[in-house]
Structure 1
């Protein structure tokens, strides 16, 4: 399989050249990796679903729990992909209606079941540590023509973690750091900002999501989370940031909570930390600009005064030199021994 992709801010379009077996002609399929929009191919009624979002298994087990479903009219093929931690996507094969086609080097390891017009299951045999990955399905269509213009639509993916039989679940340690006292202005100069930083570390597996609450209400604006979690020795770590207006932070009693959710194979366990807003000088943008303008004016006045003083001193020196020259010409210069 080869791929040529172009990316935009909210979508990625790829042309995938697929060759399932040496006896078949390669075909081209457009792949659109994005959330379907109403009115387009794969409208709101035809979103591709994957369950579960997270899955934990032990080495040497088998699993058929990775499921993909859709309700897109005329879509009769489901493709399956494996994405490693480096982000590389590898085609495992596809299900064309009820007929599976597994890539040659994956036969015996992966298989597919179901009817691709609605649903497919990915079956993985004899699980190993390196089977840990994110598995994506994509609903597509097969027609008479070699070139297809309808996009393949991806599901959100299932993150599978395969661990040793004696490996235990480890919950995260959460640290919430207050804004730096030196922080005052955002990079885009849209006003005074304060940034809270939440660090989750020492957890296993990497089935973690981070979210923020202000006064108990979930917020998404101003949130930036490093995802996926990064390896940290035998465990994982993850960081998230919340940026709020300075006035919001300088409100005594206001709560800022970082929530870390970890799926432990059966249930979701949550850990959280909370900071409280502090008393501080509420500096509004208008007041800041007024202060800056006053400083600029004071600086200009000092420059003018300095220039006038320099000119005055220069004039005195010039006058002294002229006076000395006249005295020398008249012979009235006195020398003291």
Structure 2
């Protein structure tokens, strides 16, 4: 959207912020989701008992609003978000003291700008839904799983993220299996922890796949096969319950999609009670680090830009 000012067309700018336990990333976008300035980031200030996230976010809004005229602030954040007031309803031990933080209320009070706050995995799902599909081919049901330190999940049904009765839908990482929780078996953290047991090396995702390529018969292959089996079990559980049209997998490990996706699809077919239960198209996320910011912007725009 744009508007006229003294005969000149002015493009609206929105500040999008992605709050994580390690970094806070931010950039400005127009209403179509085109990025207008380079992504910047600052280290998230967290101590053993508290954090400085609200103060950091206010500093970012202050700095950007002093340079450009903002039309709104969109925030993607770790933690369970209260949809009614944009505060943090619950945050685990990774961000101490974050529960109850009034992000939306504080920004709207200080800057008189519309603000929307959404959970980071829900934001990623919205971002992919908005930008990775054409206007006429958006799926009616989509499941987004982020594979990283844990496993996060989000469901988009008829264009809306389904949050559940108490806002906690999509917490698929806690799905219980006989061997442990889903995220204890199918996260990048779990993969690399199991890989270390092969020869004691601390590997990154990139070095793991390099070693896997060098020797397909090594112990790393067993680790990878177990990871794929567990990931398929989680996706099957979602498929039995939701029967989504599309499952999108995100996280840095999906840089290896050419290796992961064929193995995953084969494991899904092998484990399913019937192949008709695995009709979903499995895709790797395309937006990378921008997914959360774009999804938060989409949420803000769909919320009507109302304040308060």
TM-score bracket relative to the smaller structure: under 0.3
Q: Which has the higher strand share?
A: 1
Higher relative contact order (CA 8 A, sep 6+): 2
Larger radius of gyration: 1
Q: Which has the higher helix share?
A: 2
